[in-house]
Structures are given as structure tokens and as C-alpha cells.
Structure 1
Amino acid sequence: MSSSSSIPQFPILHLHLYIYKSFFDSYLLQNNIFEGFCYLLSHRRHKSISL
């Protein structure tokens, strides 16, 4: 029964926070992947230039 008490009193607010958090996490993940891809491209470009 202790697990039921941990459930927030406002399920709608909890749902909004969950959706916002998941959207924010996916946005950050996409940005990290994009930045990592750009970094790989620039690193590869610098490598090819140095070679």
C-alpha cells in the first residue's frame, strides 16, 4: 500500500510533467546526436585535410 501513497494527487499535472520531461529528454538526445554527428564530420574533415 505504500506504493499507492507515492502516486501524486494530481494525475493530470503528473501526466503533463511526464510528457514535458519525455519531450525535453528526446530533444536533448536529438541535439546530442546532431552535435556528435557534426563533431564527427568536422573531425573527419580535419583528419582528411591533415592527411
Structure 2
Amino acid sequence: MSVPLHVSADGAPVGVHFAGRYAEDATLLRLAGPLEQAAPWARRRPGLCAA
């Protein structure tokens, strides 16, 4: 799974990728719950980047 855990200096989310063993998705979901509680992202929106 890819989880946003940080914000760069320009406001872009920085994600971390976690992988688990085959058919052990529950392990990743047990990890995702505490991460979301510690740093919620549901209401965050990154700023627009200048192109």
C-alpha cells in the first residue's frame, strides 16, 4: 500500500510504500489504521504546483 506520511516544503504529499506477504492484506490494514490515526489525511488537500 502507499501511504502519505509527510509533506514536502512545497506542500506536496510524500508517500511511503509498504508491501506484505502474499494474501496477508490484513497485516497492511492493521498498519494503516494507526498511521491514519497518528497523521490523518482525509481532509488534507495538496496545493497546486506551478508547471
TM-score range, shorter chain: 0.3 to 0.5
Task: Find the structure with the greater CA-based Rg.
Answer: 1
Q: Which has the higher helix share?
A: 1
TM-score, scaled relative to structure 2: 0.32
Higher RCO by CA contacts (8 Å cutoff, separation 6 or greater): 2
Q: Which has the higher strand share?
A: 2
